Amino acid sequence: MHGTVLSQEMTGADIPNWVLVHGLGMSGRYLMPMAQLLAGHGRVYLPDLPGFGRSGNPPQVLSIPQLADALAAWMASQPLGVPVLIGNSLGAQVIVDFAVRYPERLAGAVLVGPTADPHALKVSTHLGRLLVDIWREPAGLYGMGLADYLRAGFGRCLRTLRHALADPVVGKLPSIRCPVLIVRGGRDPIVPQRWVELATGLIPNARLVIIPAAAHAVNFDAPEALVAEVLDFHNQENVHAPRG
């Protein structure tokens, strides 16, 4: 897996580490507006999941648990201790699986526009919502998203989507033991309010924040507001763990 690390000159034994996980078809590039802001508060790691971005293409399309395993293996190769994981869309779904099966490997989780809404598990429904969302996102995301989708291949993206929609994410949520912040853009057509409210209620230690003006890619659309919420979550929940 390919990854990028952002860090400013910081000293101290308790410097936070953040791992940012991208959504379906994308790469870590569209997480950069958020990452650059977070880099003033710790070390930021942006991996590209297998099959996406600058990571290599595995022969098969990976399921959600397989993507979580790949993320765990990549994290083990990095000097990041026990980080906070932040994921958008499918990246949030990968983090849910990671949190259940590797609970000792993360200090907290931020799920931004988490998939998949259990009331919309048809591919056609999800693609319809995605088309609505495209027109609500900043224009700067269009070219970046198209380039990333072309690099991954639409076939891989579609098969990954099928894996995501088949993943029993609702059943995993009650098993998450770390503090969780769920963030939804108020204009997000992919992730409805009823779904994030359900998810928040199922996770033992979770809270929900709405950023009204944002759509699905809150990290690109409203990075300042999102980072403010992440830092508040980090401080209020005392999300600190020994760092590597």
Percent of residues, the chain, with pLDDT higher than 70: 94
- What distance in Å separates the CA atoms of residue 109 and residue 116, rounded to the nearest whole number? 17
pLDDT of amino acid 3: 83
pTM of the entire predicted model: 0.94
Choose between 244 and 161: higher pLDDT: 161
Closest CA relative to residue 171, chosen from 137, 199, 207:
199
| 138-171: pLDDT as tens digits | 999 999 999 999 999 999 999 999 999 999 999 9
pLDDT of amino acid 203: 97
Percent of residues, the chain, with pLDDT higher than 90: 86
pLDDT of amino acid 236: 84
Q: Residue 19 pLDDT more than 90?
A: yes
pLDDT of amino acid 56: 85
| 166-205: pLDDT as tens digits | 999 999 999 999 999 999 999 999 999 999 999 999 999 9
167-205 b/e (C-beta count within 10 Å ≥ 16 → b): bebeebbeebebbbbbbbbebbbbbeeebbeebbebbee
Q: Residue 65 pLDDT more than 70?
A: yes
pLDDT of amino acid 242: 39
Length of the chain in terms of residues written: 244
pLDDT of amino acid 186: 97
- What distance in Å separates the CA atoms of residue 93 and residue 87, rounded to the nearest whole number? 8
Single-letter amino acid code for the residue at 228: A
Residue 215 tokens read as 């759509």
Q: Residue 89 pLDDT more than 60?
A: yes
For 213, counting Cβ atoms within 10 Å of its Cβ (0-12 exposed, 13-18 middle, 19+ buried), the class is: exposed
pLDDT of amino acid 240: 56
| Number of helical (H) and strand (E) elements in the chain, helices listed first | 10, 7
pLDDT of amino acid 15: 80
pLDDT of amino acid 177: 95
CB 110 within 8 A of CB 230: yes
Q: DSSP per residue over 163-194, as a string?
A: HHHHS-HHHHGGG--S-EEEEEETT-SSS-HH
- What distance in Å separates the CA atoms of residue 116 and residue 56, rounded to the nearest whole number? 25
| 25-48: pLDDT as tens digits | 999 999 999 999 999 999 999 999
